[in-house]
Amino acid sequence: MDASPPTSLFDPVLPYDSHWLAVPGGHELYVEQSGSPGGKALLLVHGGPGSAATAMQRRFFDPTRYRIVQFDQRGCGRSRSPQPLRHNHSAALMDDIERIRARLGIDRWLVCGGSWGATLAACYAAAHRGAVAGLLLRALFLSGRADLEWFFGGAGALYPDEWQRFLDRAPRGQRRRFRQWLWRVFAAADESRLADVAAAWRRWEAVLEGRPPPRDAPDRSVLLRYRVQAHYLAHACFLGERRVLAAIARLQGLPVLFVHGRRDLVCRPDNSWKAWSSLSGSRLLWVDDAGHAPFVPAMASAMREAAARWLLGEDFDGIGACRVAPWR
């Protein structure tokens, strides 16, 4: 995240409502609403897995015209559970979103997510199509082997020194199966080791996002974030690329806009290209001067434009600089 947010973002707004919602499996979800109670209903799905909803995420959207709903997924942020990883999988998260919608009395909403949030948003829409008016999906993650092999190895060709720094956290004999070693470390929950490995993982993530590596030691919230993320990635997010693309292919007829930074080294642009190619009638907006980070000026401007277009007629017609192949 940039230290100085771009001026294309709306001013910060505080929630007008926040509460916890009990869901099956012993979890309580933190839910908050901001913006205008009478505005267009909008669900923001945070990324990760393991991250949390933030005030910055809603600043793409006009708070005088949107009713903005955010929540922390199971085991994340302010949500509560004595066993954060238990009953924590993608199908449960999709059911949770429906419970939130029913509790808030919302008929249909625009669903927006970035990275893992885009994955979950798309799969939720395929499962509960009647509840979704449209989808705005930034930096799509497909959750399959190609994504994992890129992040945990392939991208090391671009930053070999930084990748080696991450890889060195594992014993020499475990480096050929580095991902499997990571999953075991976080499943064991040995906090003395978790802090070191989480710090290295967080640094590698920052390098690929083009951010300065964090200097502070990871606190318990960071450790939990990577425990949840490891839990999901060890199981291909309980989805996998084929299931995600199949879900997206079932969205035909809904307004869907994919937005992707050309320089994204975390979730590669090819992900959104594959998704767009599988969904006739969808739109794909390339953002040339952006990578994975959502709040750089070029990406912030693109997201704000997309949100403004939706307010004109609940579609993304006329979105600027939308570069797609002429045969579509």
319 pLDDT band, cuts 50/70/90, is confident
Other beta carbons less than 10 A from residue 324's beta carbon: 15
What is the fold, at CATH topology level, of the domain defined by 17-143+239-313?
Rossmann fold (3.40.50)
For residue 317, the model assigns a pLDDT of 87
Active-site residue, from 264, 272, 282, 301: 264
Active-site residue, from 51, 81, 115, 272: 115
Match 């470390």 to its residue by tokens.
Answer: 185
**Closest Cα to residue 71, out of 16, 132, 10, 28?**
28
**Could you write out the DSSP letters of every residue in 133-190?**
EEEEEES----SHHHHHHHTTGGGGTSHHHHHHHHTTS-GGGGGGHHHHHHHHHHHT-
**Could you write out the DSSP letters of every residue in 25-37?**
TTEEEEEEEEE-T
> Are residues 143 and 271 in contact, defined by beta-carbon separation less than 8 angstroms?
no
For residue 328, the model assigns a pLDDT of 40
Active-site residue, from 46, 147, 292, 301: 292
327 pLDDT more than 50: no
pLDDT tens for 237-260 read 999 999 999 999 999 999 999 999
Q: Give 182's contacts (C-beta < 8 A, 6+ positions apart).
A: 152, 170, 197, 201, 230
Domain ranges of the chain: 17-143+239-313, 145-236
For residue 190, the model assigns a pLDDT of 75
Angle between the 178-188 and 220-233 helix axes, to the nearest 10 degrees?
130
pLDDT tens for 72-107 read 999 999 999 999 999 999 999 999 999 999 999 999
128 is catalytic: no
Q: Where are the alpha helices (DSSP H) in the chain?
A: 90-104, 116-127, 145-151, 160-167, 178-188, 191-209, 220-233, 241-249, 269-278, 297-313
pLDDT tens for 206-222 read 999 999 999 998 998 99
**Which one is predicted more confidently, 7 or 60?**
60
196 is catalytic: no
> Are residues 97 and 55 in contact, defined by beta-carbon separation less than 8 angstroms?
no
The pLDDT mean for the chain works out to 94
**Closest Cα to residue 208, out of 168, 169, 150, 272?**
150
For residue 5, the model assigns a pLDDT of 59
61/67 Cα distance (integer angstroms): 9
27 is catalytic: no
142 pLDDT band, cuts 50/70/90, is very high
**Closest Cα to residue 243, out of 119, 96, 117?**
119
Amino acid at 178: F
Element (H, E) at 22: strand 17-23
